[in-house]
Structure 1
Amino acid sequence: MRKSCRCGHVMELELRTVVYAKKVEIRNVPVFACTDCVSYEVLQPVKPDLKACISKLGEQPVKQDVSFGKQNELADLLHEQLLAWPDATDREMEHHMQQAVSERINLLLDIMGYAQKSGDEEWMETTERRLSQLSGFVWQAHFSNAV
């Protein structure tokens, strides 16, 4: 999955490990990387959750390894799809991601129904947050200038 870089070359979407405060490794963060100008850009829809994750760690975090997929549904799905389809073209990956997002939303809606029936407020809030991370994702908005 690609998009154009400000330098005019191509940025590839990769799952990277972000190191925070030299102590915390946050794995599988979706990042666009340009090998020509060596610039990086976190995928826009996951940026707020990455900031929230870092904020929760505080200024003096203990050494740890964090899976970003547990913080963000979209990052989790991208990780799953990139592992399942490593050689997919951008168009194929778009199809796989749209299907995966749809299936995950349906699953989360089912989970929300069970959470509501059981009256579990925390479960409902968690499920609602997970749904919101997926519901606004539009492929073309983030890959529209893909080369």
Structure 2
Amino acid sequence: MAQESTTQAEKSPTSRTGSAAAPNVEGSAGKTTIASSVVQKVAGIAAREVSGVFALGGGVSRAFGAIRERIPGSGTVTTSGVSVEVGEKQAAVDLDLVVEYGARIVDVAKAVRRNVISTVEQITGLEVIEVNIAVNDIHVPEEDGEEEPVSRVE
């Protein structure tokens, strides 16, 4: 029975918060474990590297991320908009993207998928079985330059 659970765990990712073991080389002296947060960060960085990606996460997660970045000692938010499921040998990645206006969304999604798969597999040694992408928003550059309306009264 223990054999069946090991085989099942190897076939599919286990949990979003658990850790995963990278494939062991036969005859090695131990086991390497990779936390799901590591896979999350690697996938987030790989997605941001692609031209046409403005940000990761939906409006709410980006707002919370902006607040967290202002808190001293909190560091940067690299996992916003990224969730992963990690098993012993495989990983699945879900991404929420904001794409630059004018970029062809289908091409950006393909490039993100390719970059995330190759980077995660190269760095972690885990097989990436899928990368699901949800485009939640389009970034329009003119929106950044808008100022608050000037009050008519002083």
Settle same-fold status: TM greater than 0.5: no
Larger RCO (CA within 8 A; separation ≥ 6): 2
Structure having the higher Rg: 2
TM-score normalised by length of structure 2? 0.29
